[in-house]
Structures are given as structure tokens and as C-alpha cells.
Amino acid sequence: MQAKIYKAASKAAENPSIGITINNPAALQVIKDCALITMKCLPLYVFADYKDPFRELSGKFAKKDITEFIEQAKTDIILETLLTLIVAKAKEKMPEVFRQVKVSEGPSAASLTDDPYGDYYAERVVVETKDRTIEEILQEAFKC
């Protein structure tokens, strides 16, 4: 159903008087504005309507799509809101995609000191981790 709404809204945004009689000229602008708002907010509505969006949309996007979406969200308030919704739903449904990733693994902390007997008592390995980027999180969530 939502796909049909987008097509109709697109037509109304281009020509608000198509198929109807306009008695008040101001109605043209109202129809056009409503159509534009519908086109912008429809993706938000559609995503929120999925019961399990990550399973249902798995593999439907390329890494390039995710990168472009994040860039566009920086300048479009509706896309920024959609991104916020997607991240919140991912945190709720798939908290494991937010885990830190290992950057490097180095020698034990004791071997980094000047104590010649530092490694004798314990084998500890220093592991550096970093938080995942939003791009990495979405790529894993949507299996890109």
C-alpha cells in the first residue's frame, strides 16, 4: 500500500490539481506541501511498520547505499530522524552489533616494563578495542 501512496504523492507534488477541481487557489499549495511531506516521511513510516526490519531487509542494501544514506542524513532532518530510529531499533533488537571491535593485540603489560621478572607471574595480553562506527553497525545489521 505504501508504494502506491508514494507514487500518488509524487504526482500531486508535481501537479496538485491533477484529477480534481480547485475552488480555492491556496489549496494548490496545501496539496503540494502535503504531498512533499508524505514523500519525505513515508520511509520513516514504512521502516517503523516492519516487525523485524533487519531480517526482512537483510541483504537488500549495498555498503555504498549505507554510506550514501549516512551522508544524506547529515543534511536532511527527516533522514537523520530515520537514521536515529534505525540505530535505536538495532540497539533494541541486535545489541551484539554494537560490540567493540579488536584493533590490535600486543604483548603482555608486564613485558612492557623494565622488570625482567614481569612476565613470570601472569600472562596478560594487551588488547586494544574501538567502538564501531554507525556505518559498520548498519552494514552488519542489514548484512551488506
78 Cβ contact list (under 8 Å, min separation 6) = 40, 41, 43, 44
Q: Which residues, including other chains, have CB under 8 Å from residue 118's CB and lie 6 or more apart?
A: 108, 110, 111
pLDDT tens-digit readout, 44-100: 999 988 999 999 999 999 999 999 999 999 999 999 999 999 999 999 999 998 887
Which residues is 49 bridged to in the sheet?
A: none
| pLDDT per position as a tens digit, 115-138 | 666 555 556 666 676 788 999 999
pTM of the model: 0.72
Provide the strand spans (E) within the chain: 101-106, 126-130
